[in-house]
Amino acid sequence: MAGLSCAVRPRRLWRWYLISEQPAEILMLLPDEPGRYSTGGAVRAWHFLALLCRLGRLTGFILSQGVSAETVLATGERCRLVRVSPDAAKVRMPSWQRYFQVLVTPWKNRGRQLLLAGHNICVERSGAAGFQFWHWCYGLYLLLVFILLRRLAAIDPVDCHVRGALIDGQLRQIRGHYGQRHPDLIWVEHSYLYSVAEQLQRHFPGARIAVNAHNVETQLKAGGARRHGTWLGRCWLQQEAALAAAIERRMVRNAWLILSCSQADAARFAGMVSAGAAARASILVAANGVDTAYFACAAGCTTEIADRVVFTGTAGYGPNDDAVKWLLEEIWPIIRQSCPRAALTLAGRGAGIRWLPMTQGMPDVQVISDPVDMRPVLQRAALAIVPLRSGSGTRLKIVESMSMGVPVVSTEIGAEGLQLVAGSEVLLEDTAEGLAAATVRLMQDESLRRELSEAGRARAKRDYDWQQITATVGRSLTQLDPRFSVSEASSG
């Protein structure tokens, strides 16, 4: 990958010796609390947080509200997490800014993810109950406010939300935390927080910005717009995609480093630079991984239910919700025709709220909401199905299933970026009929299940273990800037 080498002029070598005496200062921005065995974004953030703790002295700022005000990790004084509350400091604003803050209050109250991640923002589904009139009114209100802010007032709604309602108070806390010190690196989880990093960079001149891009937000929202069930929702997500494109173009032009989840995502980021323009950011690829020691079937364990199929993921995430809808309405009825004993498990955070209402009248479908440990869910399944039709990044649900020895049936886009061998490591189909046929085939062919199980487990251990992935990224960061050198003594 171009840009991985870092040439140092001889006359400046003395600076590196002085710098090496003190660990680099790293400021990390997280939208939510990281977790080693949590949801996809939290898991990826946790492993890179652990890496950054070995690269320098890290302070992570969690921008969402929560119960605890401050959390100090067990890694010691080199690494600490601080939750900065949006309400900790009252901000004096001109009347017109207060007016816009009032307009975006519904976004703030419904949470950052509602605005920034494109999770069915405009119109919410109430399960089988369908749409309610106030949902339409609320969605129309948000759409009109978006157009007013972005088109008429030339104000970025995300920037307005972050700067006016969220980051003003938090920015003061962050600056107060550092005092006279300046961070050397601003590390951002998710590209939609890049505008926040730009604000911080103005207060910390000289700090570089690195973005851990879990998704290409432009691609994610554009895909959601194509598949949304309502005209209003499509309009809203198209506007969100346009806004995400503007933010990500700035990111590619001005950031120091972008960490993408796949070669496909890296190519999408590289393609955002117009002809003749130069991209400043170095783009590295680090696929999502799995803790293969944790996600491992115990010696001698057997599949408890041979005809059980599992789908795992976070409910409320647009591509997952669309996949569950497609699975229940089109794929599962075909499977049941061929295998009347087949059973389906839907497991994930928030599944009881989002997915349970979709399964009314389907006794063969089990919904497990907010499982503490996903391993027993996977261990009881004969296979995992991943019927995603949109999305970006790489799927933790696939590598976790492979690590557990659970064979996987997926769409092409579901397995995008993992470079798995179709037929020997995963079964790939893109139609409802094809996915159903592949699922039935796996249910009925025990030797094929065993073959895919062994090949998938071996591939996960070889290429997708988190320790290998983060170690590779750590070496690349050291090549880009010798200040960020991995300290084994501080690992934890």
Written as six digits, the tokens of 445 are 């062919």
Helices (H), 209-262: 217-227, 231-254
Residues 84 and 228 in one domain: yes
Written as six digits, the tokens of 394 are 């790489």
Place of tokens 């649900």: 397
Q: Is residue 151 part of a domain?
A: no
Residues 313 and 403 in one domain: yes
Residues 396 and 341 in one domain: yes
Check residue 85 and give its pLDDT.
63
Identify residue 446 by its one-letter amino acid code. E
Residues 373 and 413 in one domain: yes
Q: Is residue 481 part of a domain?
A: yes
Q: Is 54 helix (H, G, I), strand (E, B) or coil?
A: helix
Distance CA 261, CA 283 (A): 10
Written as six digits, the tokens of 218 are 């432009």
Distance CA 116, CA 130 (A): 24
Q: Is residue 478 part of a domain?
A: yes
Instruction: List the beta bridge partners of residue 58.
Output: 26, 79
Check residue 33 and give its pLDDT.
84
Residues 423 and 484 in one domain: no
Check residue 161 and give its pLDDT.
37
Closest CA to 336 of 408, 436, 449: 436
Number of structural domains (the chain) is 2
DSSP state of 328: I
Identify residue 286 by its one-letter amino acid code. A
Residues 402 and 471 in one domain: no
Helices (H), 327-431: 332-338, 351-354, 375-379, 396-403
- Each residue's pLDDT tens digit, 397-433: 999 999 999 999 999 999 988 889 999 999 999 999 9
Instruction: List the beta bridge partners of residue 29.
Output: 61, 188
Distance CA 233, CA 242 (A): 14
Residues 360 and 472 in one domain: no
Place of tokens 């796949």: 262
Check residue 464 and give its pLDDT.
94
CATH of the domain at 439: 3.40.50.2000
Nearest 5°: the CA angle 485, 487, 489 is: 175
Residues 225 and 319 in one domain: no
Burial 56-93 (b: 16+ CB within 10 A, else e): bbbbbbbbbeeeeeeeebebeebbbbebbebeeeebee
Place of tokens 């349970």: 356
**pLDDT under 50: residue ranges of the chain:** 1-20, 67-75, 87-131, 134, 149-166, 300, 489-492
Q: Is residue 203 part of a domain?
A: yes
Question: How many CB atoms neighbour CB 287 within 10 A?
Answer: 21
Crossing angle between the packed helical segments 40-55 and 396-403, to the nearest 10 degrees? 80
DSSP state of 150: I
Q: Is residue 299 part of a domain?
A: no
Distance CA 365, CA 381 (A): 13
Q: Is residue 102 part of a domain?
A: no
Q: Is residue 24 part of a domain?
A: yes
Check residue 22 and give its pLDDT.
74
Residues 396 and 335 in one domain: yes
Residues 454 and 478 in one domain: no
Written as six digits, the tokens of 205 are 């001149």
Residues 451 and 360 in one domain: yes
Q: Is residue 153 part of a domain?
A: no
* Domain span at 173: 10-89+158-289+467-490
Distance CA 72, CA 66 (A): 15
Residues 229 and 167 in one domain: yes
